[in-house]
Structure formats: C-alpha cells, structure tokens
Amino acid sequence: MQEAVARRVAASLIINYCNLIRKMKTIYLAGGCFWGMQHFMQQIYGVTATRVGYANSVVENPDYKLVCTGATDAAETVEVGYDPDKISLFRLLQLFFMAIDPTTLNRQGGDIGTQYRSGIYYVDAEDLPVIERAIDYERGEVRDPVVTEVGRLVNFYPAEEYHQDYLDKNPSGYCHIDPALFKLAREANAPGKVDKESYEKPDDRELRERLTPLQYAVARENLTERPFLNEYNAEFRPGIYVDIVTGEPLFLSTDKFESGCGWPAFSRPIDKSLLDEHRDLTHGMDRTEVRSRKGDTHLGHVFDDGPKELGGIRYCINSASLRFVPLEDMEKQGYADLIPLLSR
C-alpha cells in the first residue's frame, strides 16, 4: 500500500518537475467523476499531461473507497499540465466550464457527493486573478449562483492506476460528460482550422472597386485609421473577423479584449501561420507590422504588452482591414466549420 502510494506521488512530482523544466504550467480541476474530465482535458490542444487524483483531502494518502465515503473531504480532480504558449489559463477555464454545471453543489451529472463538487485549485498565486476573472465571466453566462470552489491546492494524491486514462482503456465506460463535448474540446483551441487554399487575393482593380477609400488606403497603402472612431473598436459580439481583401478568417471574438488603445485588440490569431510579421521603422518607431499572408493586407502591429493572463501579446488591428461576421451569420456566409471555435 505505502509503496503504491509512493509511486503515485513520485509520478506526480515528475510531471510537475517536467512542466517546470519545459516552462509548462499546472492547474487542478475538479468537475465530477474524474474519468470524463480527464478525457475531456486530453482533447484540448495545449494540454500536455493529465493525471487523476484526490485534491485537498483531510486524510493522508486516501484510496478511492475511502474518498467515496465522504470522510476525506477530497474532490475527484484532474492534474492538468499545459503549455501557456498554446493555450491561456483563461481559455482553458472557459473550456472547463463548458463541460460542467457550475451552479450545482456537490453534484455533476448523476454523481452526488462532496467528492463530485466542482473546483479550481491553483499552485501559482499569479493564477488567482485569472481564475477570478473566469468565474466572473461565467457568472454572466448562467442564471443561478456559481458554486465552483476556488482555492490554493493543499494536497493532491494520484488515484489508483486503474483510474488513470480510464476512458482510453474502457471506451464504453461510464462518463457523465456529453460525448459531443469531446469533439468541441478538440476543435475549440486547435490551430490550423482555416482552409488556406479556399481564399484568393483579387486583383488591384477589383479591390479599388469593392473597398471603400479608407479600406483600400489601410489595407493596401499601410494607412493607420483614427483611434476609437473606427468600426470594430467597441464590437464584442460573438463572431469572427476576416481579411477585408480575401475573406480569410483571421481572429475570433473570444480572443478580443478591451485594450484602451482605440483599435481592435486580440490576444492571438486563429492560426499564426495566416500572418506575416515585418519590422517597421516608419514614423520614427521600431515596431512589428502584421500582414495577412494570403491577402498581403496591412492589418496593424503586434506588441508584447497584452494582458499577462491572455498570453501577454496584443495584436493591434485596424478595423478597416477586417470584416466582422456575427455568429448568427457564419453558416450562411460559409464559415460554419469555424463555429465550434466559438463554443464554450
């Protein structure tokens, strides 16, 4: 018994050490039966390692049978290692909330008991403001109070081996999470969702006829539009932003944030390979210009002063270089395949 526990604890320490060496991060998420939550997390691009176990137990080294009695006050939890360069903690928590009901206390699906409560447990104090922001966001999405527990991780004891990767070993095994959500998890943060071959750059004559004078001057002649007095600075409806020249999707509304700069700001593109970056020394400044690769559209500039919880990057983009497609219009305009990227 003690030897098995020691092996499980050692394995957990190895994951944390590897995450540290590789500059990975770790968060602990409780969302009902850990079989389904682990499988859900494993689908997300940017998640590098998972392990199920018992968090914040008042009894040392509990086993599954004891946890099920409620005597340990432990929560069935998934240890999630992730690459912050591929997925932000805020985005990860958005997906987590997609898979749980944050308004039910000590219950998820048909599983009832304190071990099935929902919770977010952190080891890095800098994560707390991000978690609180995600909780506040979720409160705006549901009618009932959010009861998901938030706190520092006190302890984590890896569960028995047969619980690890349970649904991989038992594909028809019990799971309280809707199987359709696994597909959404795979697609929601996946890179390269845009079919780059479907978008072509029109000739200059067509662009002059189709674009407004301001759109042409910004997209083709590198003009910068006026701050604040532009079309999408205050636009925050769900949808996508596409290249005004080619129609190629470039940015998601879920990655847009209020930066105060006066232009639309995004934490990342849908796929970084859709963009080109060039050093820009005009106007006495040293900046990095961003252009669309297919359309060669001048979009704006990228800076490293974005919100830390969103990755620290700010794509400052001209509204005139973009066209916004609201979520409700995406299917009829041919962007149905990208709708899952906006799913929570």
Is residue 316 flagged as an active site residue? yes
Distance CA 48, CA 41 (A): 10
Distance CA 9, CA 108 (A): 27
Q: Angle, nearest 10°, between helix axes 180-188 and 89-98?
A: 160
Q: Whole-angstrom distance between the N-terminal and C-terminal Cα of the chain?
A: 41
Distance CA 216, CA 213 (A): 5
Note the helical H segments in 100-250. Answer: 128-139, 166-169, 180-188, 204-210, 213-221
| Residue 82: strand, helix, or coil | strand
Distance CA 222, CA 209 (A): 18
b/e 301-313 (16+ beta carbons within 10 angstroms → b): bbbeebbebbbeb
Q: What share of the chain is helix, strand, coil (3-state, %, to 5)?
A: 35, 25, 40
Is residue 175 flagged as an active site residue? no
Nearest residue to 98 via CA among 18, 185, 218, 200: 185
Which residue is associated with the tokens 């009829």? 332
CA 343 vs CA 75, 99, 166, 179, 180: distances in Å: 27, 11, 26, 15, 12
Residue of 18, 175, 261, 316 marked catalytic = 316
Give 54's strand partners: 76, 157
Contact 156, 54 (CB under 8 A): yes
Residue of 33, 68, 175, 261 marked catalytic = 33
Distance CA 71, CA 33 (A): 17
Residues with catalytic roles: 33, 316
